[in-house]
């Protein structure tokens, strides 16, 4: 018998018994529902109607008594209120006849009520004398009152007795249904027990053997052979399992040889790389490394990162494993001596992702930055030297131009003045460029004097925005400042930071057309003050954003007012020298935002620094 037939046999029997049990339960519940419906919907409605009629009859009789006692107004009002209510209850009873003999009594009640209604209306006639009213009440109304009440009581008793009878019948049916249900449940439990026993014998035992075998294979035991004593689907699965383990044994033999070849090839390729590169598993164990990584940093295969005493490696590797993204050390390059030579290395970690997008290891790249650092030092030295060398002759040229424009050494023609004005503007522009270059050189080399002190954020903002308000008006640009007086003090060199805001606000006004808006805002968090300079100008294309703070970089197509590309690089150097950060956000055609984050004075890293 196949596994499918076994399952059909067991589940089919259960399905049959469950169907019989369900059908029986539904039919018995339906019968009980009908009995309860008769009790609640039909008999109970008649009982309520009879009670309503009796109450209305009592109230109308009270109204007739009021009339006899000399208060016809109150009596007529009460009769007019309760007469319709009696008629409504009587109509309910006439349309809810459910018991044999109930219809005749209801019809008699209707006739009696018709007579009673006619007479009770006449008793309130103002033309009748008191004696005539008493005669009508005692000779006609009072006998009708008794007949109506007795008839209503009879109808109510009939329905109440029927409710009791139906309740007993419903209880009897419920007991019978419960007994039958218990019997069917016992049959279901018996069949289910047999099926569970058969399932354990036919299905679960072979499956458990397969599970145990899979665990052994996971441990590396590929020599396992599963014994199967059946020809059903599980037996076929066991045979397939044995074929799979045989194929895995063959694959392991060929794979080990191939892996050995690949490992040797990778090691040879790694040894030919100039940078220090190592591949680490998630536990920090070195799997393969280049010669530079082994010789300089001790990253030999099978070594653990925590045993090498390079504390600066841990944050980079840990961040790559946690985030699943490449991680670059934000600190200065690491100094390491190779022999007697000083070398500088920049650590970078690249995660290795498995098929589930989870980090399965890390490639640690230690890029040799020595040559680049030397080139940067050489560049700074050249820029500083050239700037200093050009400063003196440029100063002489500017002085000579100013003397000639002041006509200290003779009068000038109109054409000569025009030429000298152009020369003065160009020399002033060249002098500003040299000043910027010297500033960058001093800040990068750490030779720039920084005078840190606490400055209120609102005062810092007001000192830098005032010169630009007239410029904004001339350009037709709205200039808003939102820096609350309640903001805490910021720990900066105010003169240097003022230069930062000058650059950013000036750039924003240059690139914002008339009708646009430039905004300076500030907010505070627990440790920092965040300033934002936002404009609605032309924006910066996305592809140029990474190079925005590079020296001498100019965004193409920004017009003739763009400088030589030193302003934003100076901004970055000054902000970082003040212990802060600067970022840029922009959307082409919608404007740009420059975000400056500075330390609060009450959370300055080193308040004693000057």
- Give the pLDDT confidence of 284-320 residue by residue, as tens digits: 888 888 877 777 777 878 788 777 777 777 777 888 8
Indicate if the pLDDT at residue 608 is higher than 50: no
Indicate if the pLDDT at residue 396 is higher than 80: no
Give the pLDDT of residue 609. 42
Burial class of 106 by CB neighbour count within 10 A (0 to 12, 13 to 18, 19+): buried
Using a pLDDT cut of 90, give the percent of the chain over it.
Answer: 5
519 pLDDT band, cuts 50/70/90, is: very high
Give the pLDDT of residue 610. 37
Rounded distance between C-alpha atoms, residue 284 and residue 539, angstroms: 45
CATH code for the part of the protein at 273-368: 3.30.450.20
Q: Quickly name the fold that domain 374-445 has.
A: Helix Hairpins (1.10.287)
Taking residues 497-505, report their average pLDDT: 87
Mean pLDDT, the chain, as a whole number? Answer: 77
Query: 3-class SS at 277?
Result: strand
Rounded distance between C-alpha atoms, residue 67 and residue 81, angstroms: 15
With a CB cutoff of 8 Å and minimum separation 6, the contacts of 242 are: 225, 226
Domain boundaries defined on the chain: 3-191, 273-368, 374-445, 453-603
- In what helix (H) or strand (E) does residue 178 lie, and over which residues does it extend? helix 142-199
Give the pLDDT of residue 24. 67
How many residues are there in the chain?
610
For residues 384 and 94, which has the higher predicted lDDT (pLDDT)?
94
Model pTM score: 0.40
Q: What are the C-alpha distances in Å from 221 to residues 27, 43, 234, 245, 257?
A: 60, 79, 21, 9, 19
Q: Residue 303: what are its φ and ψ, rounded to 5°?
A: -80, 150
Torsion of CA 291, 294, 295, 296, to 10 degrees: 110
Indicate if the pLDDT at residue 331 is higher than 60: no
- 535, 512 in Cβ contact below 8 A? yes
Query: 3-class SS at 523?
Result: strand
Q: What are the C-alpha distances in Å from 407 to residues 395, 423, 425?
A: 18, 15, 17
Taking residues 555-569, report their average pLDDT: 67
Taking residues 543-552, report their average pLDDT: 79
With a CB cutoff of 8 Å and minimum separation 6, the contacts of 516 are: 477, 478, 535, 536, 537, 591
6 pLDDT band, cuts 50/70/90, is: low
Indicate if the pLDDT at residue 607 is higher than 50: no
Task: Report the Cα 608 to chain-centroid distance in Å.
Answer: 43
Residue 531: closest CA among 505, 511, 554: 505
Rounded distance between C-alpha atoms, residue 577 and residue 571, angstroms: 10
Q: What is the DSSP letter of 571?
A: H
173 pLDDT band, cuts 50/70/90, is: confident
Rounded distance between C-alpha atoms, residue 431 and residue 592, angstroms: 29
Q: Residue 327: what are its φ and ψ, rounded to 5°?
A: -125, 130
Residue 483: closest CA among 514, 461, 464, 498: 461
CATH code for the part of the protein at 3-191: 1.20.120.1730
* pLDDT tens digit sequence for 338-364: 766 777 777 888 888 877 777 778 888
* pLDDT tens digit sequence for 469-496: 888 888 899 999 999 988 989 988 888 8
- In what helix (H) or strand (E) does residue 518 lie, and over which residues does it extend? strand 517-524
Taking residues 328-345, report their average pLDDT: 69
Indicate if the pLDDT at residue 112 is higher than 80: yes
* pLDDT tens digit sequence for 175-230: 777 787 777 778 777 877 776 676 656 666 667 777 777 777 777 676 767 666 66
**What is the DSSP annotation of 385-419?**
HHHHHHHHHHHHHHHHHHHHHTTTTS---HHHHHH
* pLDDT tens digit sequence for 431-448: 666 666 666 666 655 555
CATH code for the part of the protein at 453-603: 3.30.565.10
**Rg value, the chain, Cα:** 51
- 511, 535 in Cβ contact below 8 A? yes
Taking residues 448-458, report their average pLDDT: 80
**What is the DSSP annotation of 416-470?**
HHHHHHHHHHHHHHHHHHHHHHHHHHHHHHT-S----EEEEHHHHHHHHHHHHHH
Strand partners, 455: 490
Lowest mean pLDDT among 386-390, 419-423, 587-591: 386-390
């Amino acid at each position: 018998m196949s596994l499918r037939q076994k399952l059909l046999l067991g589940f089919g029997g259960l399905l049959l018994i469950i169907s019989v049990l369900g059908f029986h339960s539904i039919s018995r519940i339906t019968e009980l529902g009908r009995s309860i419906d008769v009790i609640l919907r039909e008999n109970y409605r008649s009982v309520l109607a009879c009670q309503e009629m009796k109450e209305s009859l009592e109230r109308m009789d009270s109204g007739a008594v009021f009339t006899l006692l000399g208060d016809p107004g109150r009596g007529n009002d009460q009769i007019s209120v309760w007469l319709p209510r009696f008629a409504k209850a009587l109509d309910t009873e006439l349309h809810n006849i459910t018991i044999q003999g109930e219809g005749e009594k209801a019809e008699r009640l209707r006739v009696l009520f018709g007579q009673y209604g006619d007479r009770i209306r006449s008793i309130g006639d103002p033309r009748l004398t008191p004696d005539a009213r008493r005669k009508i009440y005692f000779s006609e109304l009072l006998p009708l009152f008794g007949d109506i009440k007795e008839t209503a009581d009879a109808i109510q008793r009939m329905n109440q007795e029927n409710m009791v009878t139906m309740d007993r019948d419903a209880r009897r049916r419920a007991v019978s249904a419960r007994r039958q249900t218990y019997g069917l449940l016992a049959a279901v439990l018996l069949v289910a027990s047999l099926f569970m026993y058969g399932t354990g014998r036919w299905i679960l035992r072979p499956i458990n053997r397969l599970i145990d075998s899979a665990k052994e294979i996971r441990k590396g035991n590929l020599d396992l052979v599963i014994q199967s004593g059946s020809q059903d689907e599980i037996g076929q699965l066991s045979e397939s399992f044995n074929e799979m383990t045989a194929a895995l044994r063959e694959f392991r033999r060929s794979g080990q040889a191939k892996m050995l070849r690949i490992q040797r090839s990778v090691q040879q390729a790694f040894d030919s790389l100039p940078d220090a590169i190592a591949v680490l598993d998630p536990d920090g164990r070195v799997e393969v490394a280049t010669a530079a990584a082994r010789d300089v940093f001790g990253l030999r295969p099978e070594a653990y990162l925590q045993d090498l005493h390079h504390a600066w490696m841990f944050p980079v590797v840990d961040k790559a494993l946690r985030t699943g993204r490449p991680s670059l050390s934000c600190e200065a390059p690491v100094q390491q001596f190779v022999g007697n030579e000083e070398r500088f290395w920049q650590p970078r970690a690249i995660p290795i992702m498995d098929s589930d997008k989870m980090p399965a290891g890390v490639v640690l790249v230690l890029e040799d930055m020595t040559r680049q650092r030397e080139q940067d030092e050489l560049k700074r030295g050249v820029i500083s030297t050239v700037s200093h060398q050009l400063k003196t002759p440029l100063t002489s040229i500017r002085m000579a131009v100013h003397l000639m424009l002041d006509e200290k050494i003779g009068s000038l023609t109109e054409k000569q003045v025009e030429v000298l004005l152009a020369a003065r503007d160009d020399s002033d522009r060249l002098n500003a460029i040299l000043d910027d270059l010297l500033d960058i050189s001093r800040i990068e080399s750490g030779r720039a004097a920084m005078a840190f002190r606490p400055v209120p954020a609102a005062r810092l903002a007001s000192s830098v925005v005032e010169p630009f308000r007239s410029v904004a008006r001339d350009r037709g640009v709205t200039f808003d400042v939102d820096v609350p007086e309640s903001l805490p003090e910021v720990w900066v060199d105010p003169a240097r930071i003022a230069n930062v805001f000058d650059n950013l606000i000036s750039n924003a006004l240059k690139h914002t057309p008339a009708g646009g808006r430039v905004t300076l805002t500030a907010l505070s968090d627990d440790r920092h003050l965040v300033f934002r300079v936002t404009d609605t100008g032309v924006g910066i294309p996305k592809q140029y954003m990474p190079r925005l703070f590079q020296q001498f970089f100019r965004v193409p197509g920004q017009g003739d007012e763009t400088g030589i590309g030193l302003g934003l690089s100076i901004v970055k150097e000054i902000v970082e020298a003040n212990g802060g950060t600067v970022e840029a956000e922009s959307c082409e055609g919608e404007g740009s935002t420059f975000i400056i984050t500075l330390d609060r004075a009450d959370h300055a890293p080193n308040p004693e620094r000057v």
